[in-house]
């Protein structure tokens, strides 16, 4: 029997969703893929190693993040072209959503490498279905702009947006973001979802001023999801 030439059988890049908080929110298929992968790419290897150790999954972990993606991607592509199977995870949720996984996916597609996914937890969609806001049409805008002017312009653009809008918000940015909404869209209903799937899961609803009063005196940790009701929606 002739030996297989792996260069003629490129490997597969698999995006593997991981829990956003509760370690139980991972699928059997995800664990099987992580265990079988020749390489697992992770934003923070220490964080992902805790997850793998929790389930007794061993495997080679390498860092893949915004600061090294351009440097290491060519090497990863060569390994995939050589027949290896690579899995990529984010620190939480589905890779490729507001993280560097998108960069690798684009590179793999351009080289004709098969890209697939093991679906699972996603904070944006969980927050949407918990929000009570319309779910028939929505748009995900990633993280809120950091600069004050850009944030104000983004909020102004929502004046006539009829879809539910979803943002990720870093904890240290929360009050600044809420104050910007209070200045630009003071009457618009907002929903803030935090600690999703965790013990202290919380979904707060109301105008920006109401949320400012509720959260300004609290120590806020973890990334949160902020949803904005569409214009004219009830």
Query: Which residue matches tokens 């990633």?
Result: 142
What pTM value is reported for the model? 0.90
pLDDT given for residue 183 in this prediction: 98
Mean pLDDT of 39-64: 95
Domain ranges for the chain, please list them.
6-118, 123-228
Taking the domain 123-228, which CATH number applies?
3.30.950.10
Long-range contacts of 24-27 (CB under 8 A, 24+ apart): 25/120, 25/121, 25/197, 26/51, 26/55, 26/120, 26/121, 27/118, 27/119, 27/120
Answer whether 12's CB lies under 8 Å from 113's CB: yes
CATH of the domain spanning 6-118:
3.40.1010.10
pLDDT band per the 50, 70, 90 thresholds, residue 167: very high
List pLDDT tens digits, range 177-198: 999 999 999 999 999 999 999 9
């Amino acid at each position: 029997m002739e030996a297989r030439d792996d260069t003629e059988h490129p490997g597969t890049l698999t995006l593997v969703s991981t829990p956003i908080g509760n370690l139980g929110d991972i699928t059997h298929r995800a664990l099987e893929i992580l265990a079988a992968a020749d390489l697992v790419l992770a934003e923070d290897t220490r964080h992902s190693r805790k997850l793998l150790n929790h389930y007794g999954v061993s495997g080679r972990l390498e860092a893949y993040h915004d600061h090294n993606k351009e440097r290491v991607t060519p090497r990863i592509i060569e390994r995939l072209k050589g027949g290896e199977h690579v899995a990529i995870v984010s620190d939480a949720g589905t890779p490729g959503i507001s993280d560097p996984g998108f960069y690798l996916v684009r590179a793999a597609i351009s080289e004709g490498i098969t890209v697939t996914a093991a679906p699972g937890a996603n904070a944006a969609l969980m927050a949407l279905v918990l929000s009570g806001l319309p779910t028939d049409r929505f748009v995900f805008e990633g993280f809120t702009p950091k600069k004050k002017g850009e944030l104000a312009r983004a909020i102004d653009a929502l004046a006539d947006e009829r879809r539910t809008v979803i943002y990720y918000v870093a904890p240290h940015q929360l009050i600044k973001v809420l104050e910007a909404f209070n200045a630009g869209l003071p009457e618009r209903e907002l929903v803030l979802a935090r600690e999703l799937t965790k013990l202290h899961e919380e979904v707060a609803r109301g105008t920006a001023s109401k949320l400012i009063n509720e959260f300004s005196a609290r120590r806020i940790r973890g990334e949160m999801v902020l949803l904005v009701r569409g214009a004219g929606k009830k």
